[in-house]
Amino acid sequence: MSEITKTDVVIIGAGPVGLFAVFELGLYDLKCHLIDILDRPGGQCAELYPEKPIYDIPAWPEISGQGLTDKLMEQIKPFAPQFHFNRMVTRLERQPDGQFHVETDEGEVFETKVVVIAAGGGSFQPKRPPVPGIEAFEGKSVFYSVRRMEEFRDEDVLIVGGGDSALDWALNLQPIARSLTVVHRRAEFRAAPDSVKKMFELVERGSVRFELGQVSGLTGEGGQLSSATIKAAEGETEIPVTRLLPFFGLTMKLGPVADWGLNLHENLVQVNVETFETSEPGIFAIGDINWYPGKLKLILSGFHEAALMTQAAKRIVSPGEKVVFQYTTSSTSLQKKLGVA
């Protein structure tokens, strides 16, 4: 078992609300670790609309999703938050001493006094293509990412999609695969022009097969694929396939949060509006993932929720200590924490 990381607060989700929570918690000396399934901070702002202007952030008449993320990262820098990207929190368990064990899919374990769920619309997960019966092959023959290239050695690999992931893996796996086929629904690719060029060179040499169309059927037994049917304008063809890699982008799913015994309201986490605590003491939920009467899914609402949550979180981490409310404009102690005094 890996070493246990001890902290005051684990924040699940590094979107704008999770990031701002670091600031509010930091003013009260609470140290944070953030865990996010994406490979960078910003959540939906960074993944879905980095360049899209947002017009309802107070005092910013217009700011892009990426711009907002960058500003928040700058704002929370004094508090040195620790980020853990490309990870999903899979387990959350209360220990006999009242603290929580938070476990990720990479096996890391955190011991924390407070958990803040700021997971927005849920975790980004790969989209499953509309192929009947594909579920039965997942994890054995169908993979949505490449964790170990060796699993593809001497296999008949089929890659579906037209983006960078699809083409990068086609180029990387071609030398070790027995055969490699790329299927895309159109002749244009969304990938780096250089990768597209390289792939078509391989197609020309006969090392990669390219089919215009969609995968319409899979056959195999016991989770082991043996062939796939490709549907194109001119009809269907069946090709031998033992490994399938579909790259259809990401979608948001509530994921493991649903299994933590929290009271839910239509797939959102119910909270107390005074503290933003869930039905489990010590576990908070802020931002788009929570629900309370009158809830609005706005970034600014999430910021407000982060500030109120902090008051309650501080009482849990430092019981008996008086929680003094102060302004950053006038408090020397807050200014010291921010590194400006």
Partner 1 sequence: MAKITFVTFDGVRIEADAENGSTVMESAIRNAVPGIDAECGGACACATCHVYVDDAWQEVTGEPEAMEEDMLDFAYDVRPSSRLSCQIRVSDELDGLVVHVPERQA
For residue 308, how many C-alpha atoms fall within 13 Å in the half-sphere facing its CB? 17
Q: Mask: binding to partner 1, 145-184, rule CB under 8 A, as x and -?
A: ----------------xxx--------------------x
3-class SS of residue 179: strand
Residue 288, marked binder = yes
Residue 251 lies near partner 1 (rule: CB under 8 A):
yes
| Of residues 223 and 249, the one with the C-beta less far from partner 1 | 249
Interacting positions 182-221 with partner 1 (CB under 8 A): 184-186, 188, 190, 214
For the beta sheet containing 224-232, the strands, ordered from the edge strand earlier in sequence to the opposite edge, are 214-221, 224-232, 235-240
What is the number of other CB atoms lying within 10 angstroms of the CB of residue 328?
Answer: 12
Read off the tokens for 83. 């980020």
Looking up tokens 């097969």, which residue turns up? 209
Q: Mask: binding to partner 1, 4-43, rule CB under 8 A, as x and -?
A: ----------------------------------------
Residue 214, marked binder = no
Residue 127 lies near partner 1 (rule: CB under 8 A):
yes
Q: Mask: binding to partner 1, 54-93, rule CB under 8 A, as x and -?
A: ----------------------------------------
What is the C-alpha separation between 316 and 145, in angstroms, rounded?
39
Residue 129 lies near partner 1 (rule: CB under 8 A):
yes
Tell how far CA 214 is from the center of its chain.
27
Name the minimum Å distance from CB 229 to partner 1.
Answer: 15
Residue 133 lies near partner 1 (rule: CB under 8 A):
no
Name the minimum Å distance from CB 129 to partner 1.
Answer: 8
3-state helix, strand, coil in the chain (%, to 5): 30, 30, 40
Residue 148: exposed, middle, or buried by beta-carbon count in 10 A (0-12, 13-18, 19+)? exposed
Residue 194, marked binder = no
Residue 329, marked binder = yes
Residue from 6, 52, 265, 336 in contact with partner 1 (CB under 8 A) = 52
Binding piece for partner 1, criterion CB under 8 A, among 76-84, 107-115, 120-128, 260-268 = 120-128
Tell me phi and psi for residue 238, to 5 degrees.
Answer: -110, 130
What is the C-alpha separation between 330 and 285, in angstroms, rounded?
30
What is the C-alpha separation between 263 and 214, in angstroms, rounded?
41
What is the number of other CB atoms lying within 10 angstroms of the CB of residue 121?
Answer: 20
Residue 264 lies near partner 1 (rule: CB under 8 A):
no
All residues at 6 or more sequence positions from 251 whose CB lies less than 8 Å from its CB, including other chains: 124, 125, 126, 127
Residue 36, marked binder = yes
Binding piece for partner 1, criterion CB under 8 A, among 90-98, 123-131, 323-331, 333-341 = 123-131
| Of residues 23 and 247, the one with the C-beta less far from partner 1 | 247
Tell me phi and psi for residue 43, to 5 degrees.
Answer: 55, -135
Residue from 133, 223, 249, 281 in contact with partner 1 (CB under 8 A) = 249
All residues at 6 or more sequence positions from 98 whose CB lies less than 8 Å from its CB, including other chains: 113, 282
| Of residues 27 and 131, the one with the C-beta less far from partner 1 | 131
Residue 248 lies near partner 1 (rule: CB under 8 A):
yes
What is the C-alpha separation between 178 and 169, in angstroms, rounded?
14
Residue 261 lies near partner 1 (rule: CB under 8 A):
no
Looking up tokens 């953030």, which residue turns up? 34
Binding-site positions for FAD: 36, 44, 49, 89, 124, 288, 329
Binding-site positions: 36, 44, 49, 89, 124, 288, 329
Contact set with partner 1 (CB under 8 A): 44, 48-49, 52, 121, 127-130, 161-163, 184-186, 188, 190, 214, 248-249, 251-252
